[in-house]
């Protein structure tokens, strides 16, 4: 009986340890202390990060893309994710969030209530954001129209419906340091910040393993489409043979050198990136041409 008691206590200790290990870390408000957000700069962060591309209402166009009511669906092998309302509505949206709340969500994938967000929200990439960018984005988001549409739940099967699974995924996720290393020019470094961070290009263009982690050995080499239909193309020099100028044109107009045009979700990405200064699109092109050629 004594051994059973010892084993029982040991099991309880392991369970408690697992819960503590998978529990989200609390926010650190000091990370954003003294930062004053600038809405004009925040607008550039907003378009670079593609916030409207996922959080606008389904089918929204033009200025309606700025009403971040949520509701767009993203099918995947793990189930269907639905983008939440991130308008500045005080109850339905994020109107009550502080800069620290937004930063903790963007960079750590944790809600103000202390729950893990699913990595369909690309916080692995957004972790590379700077504190000032978070503050600027917060300032801009608070200028957008409010909308009272309730956020819809995800449709996930067991065990992915358990948020604790996300905590385990975070422990196993790859590091968040720069992927492209070496002696980069100032333009290439800016491109790295955009591609690897704000624009989160790898979330679609890099293949994943069985646990949904990005395969950094095949960075930007292309991947199956998350919805199971078709394939997202590789954009390393091995497969993307366009010149830097042609890449810039595509990110500006959506037209390829062969007079084809961007379609699907990429059309929304182009619409967002086209709102950035041309220097940022030039930086993205310079970064892509610097990548190792991965077939």
Pair (251, 139) in one structural domain: no
- Say what the pLDDT of residue 72 is: 95
- Is 284 within 8 Å of 240 (Cβ atoms)? no
Q: What is the mean pLDDT of the chain?
A: 89
- Is 247 within 8 Å of 264 (Cβ atoms)? no
Query: Is residue 159 in a domain?
Result: yes
Residue 44 has pLDDT above 70, yes or no: yes
- Say what the pLDDT of residue 227 is: 76
Residue 22 has pLDDT above 80, yes or no: no
Structural domain total, the chain: 2
- Say what the pLDDT of residue 13 is: 31
Give the pLDDT band (50/70/90) at residue 77: confident
Which of residues 172, 207, 226 is at a domain's end? 172
Query: Is residue 162 in a domain?
Result: yes
Pair (40, 156) in one structural domain: yes
Residue 268 host element (H or E): helix 264-273
The predicted-structure confidence for 207-220, as pLDDT tens digits, reads as follows 999 888 999 999 99
Q: Which two tokens stand for residue 148?
A: 């009272």
Pair (195, 148) in one structural domain: no
Pair (165, 35) in one structural domain: yes
Q: Does the N-terminal peptide bond of residue 281 adopt cis geometry, omega within 30 degrees of 0?
A: no
Going by C-alpha positions, the residue among 85, 112, 84 that lies closest to residue 97 is: 112
Pair (70, 122) in one structural domain: yes
Which of residues 150, 172, 194 is at a domain's end? 172
pLDDT higher at 253 or 158:
253
- Say what the pLDDT of residue 23 is: 60
> Which domain does 137 fall in, by range?
28-172
Mean pLDDT of 110-132: 95
Residue 8 has pLDDT above 60, yes or no: no
- Say what the pLDDT of residue 41 is: 98
Residue 177 has pLDDT above 70, yes or no: yes
Pair (41, 162) in one structural domain: yes
Mean pLDDT of 94-117: 96
Pair (103, 218) in one structural domain: no
Pair (157, 203) in one structural domain: no
The predicted-structure confidence for 80-93, as pLDDT tens digits, reads as follows 999 999 999 999 99
The predicted-structure confidence for 225-280, as pLDDT tens digits, reads as follows 887 788 999 999 999 999 999 999 999 999 999 989 898 899 999 999 999 999 99
Which of residues 172, 196, 214 is at a domain's end? 172
| Cβ-based neighbours of 274, under 8 Å, separated by 6 or more | 251, 252, 253, 254, 281
Query: Is residue 20 in a domain?
Result: no
Query: Is residue 181 in a domain?
Result: no
Query: Is residue 115 in a domain?
Result: yes
Query: Is residue 18 in a domain?
Result: no
SS3 state at 118: coil
Residue 203 has pLDDT above 90, yes or no: yes
- Is 150 within 8 Å of 54 (Cβ atoms)? no
- Say what the pLDDT of residue 205 is: 97
- Say what the pLDDT of residue 16 is: 32
Pair (75, 120) in one structural domain: yes
Pair (141, 208) in one structural domain: no
Pair (168, 34) in one structural domain: yes
Give the pLDDT band (50/70/90) at residue 160: confident
Pair (271, 168) in one structural domain: no
Query: Is residue 124 in a domain?
Result: yes
Strand partners, 224: 231
Instruction: Pick the range with the lowest mean pLDDT from 3-7, 153-157, 242-246.
Output: 3-7
Query: Is residue 208 in a domain?
Result: yes
- Say what the pLDDT of residue 10 is: 38
Give the pLDDT band (50/70/90) at residue 20: very low
């Amino acid at each position: 009986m004594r051994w059973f008691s010892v084993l029982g206590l040991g099991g309880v200790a392991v369970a408690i340890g697992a819960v503590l290990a998978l529990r989200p870390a609390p926010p650190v408000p000091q990370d954003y202390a003294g930062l004053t957000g600038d809405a004009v700069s925040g607008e550039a962060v907003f378009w670079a990060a593609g916030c409207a591309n996922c959080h606008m209402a389904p089918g929204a166009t033009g200025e309606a893309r700025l009403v971040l009511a949520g509701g767009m669906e993203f099918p995947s092998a793990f189930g269907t994710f639905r983008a939440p309302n991130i308008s500045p509505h005080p109850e339905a949206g994020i109107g009550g969030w502080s800069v620290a709340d937004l930063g903790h969500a963007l960079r750590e994938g944790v809600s103000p209530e202390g729950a893990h967000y699913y990595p369909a929200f690309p916080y692995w990439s957004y972790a590379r954001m700077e504190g000032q960018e978070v503050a600027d984005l917060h300032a801009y988001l608070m200028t957008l129209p409010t909308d009272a549409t309730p956020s819809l739940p995800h449709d996930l099967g067991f065990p992915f419906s358990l948020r604790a699974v996300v905590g385990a995924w975070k422990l196993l996720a790859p590091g968040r340091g720069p992927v492209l290393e070496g002696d980069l020019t100032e333009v290439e470094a800016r491109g790295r910040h955009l591609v690897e961070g704000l624009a989160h290009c790898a979330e679609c263009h890099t293949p994943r393993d069985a646990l949904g982690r990005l395969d950094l050995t095949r960075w930007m080499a292309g991947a199956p489409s998350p919805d199971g239909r078709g394939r997202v193309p590789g954009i390393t020099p091995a497969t993307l043979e366009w010149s830097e100028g042609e890449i810039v044109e595509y990110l500006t107009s959506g037209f390829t050198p062969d007079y084809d045009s961007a379609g699907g979700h990429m059309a929304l990405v182009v619409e967002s990136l086209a709102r950035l200064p041309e220097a940022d699109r030039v930086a993205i092109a310079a970064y892509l041409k610097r990548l190792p050629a991965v077939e």
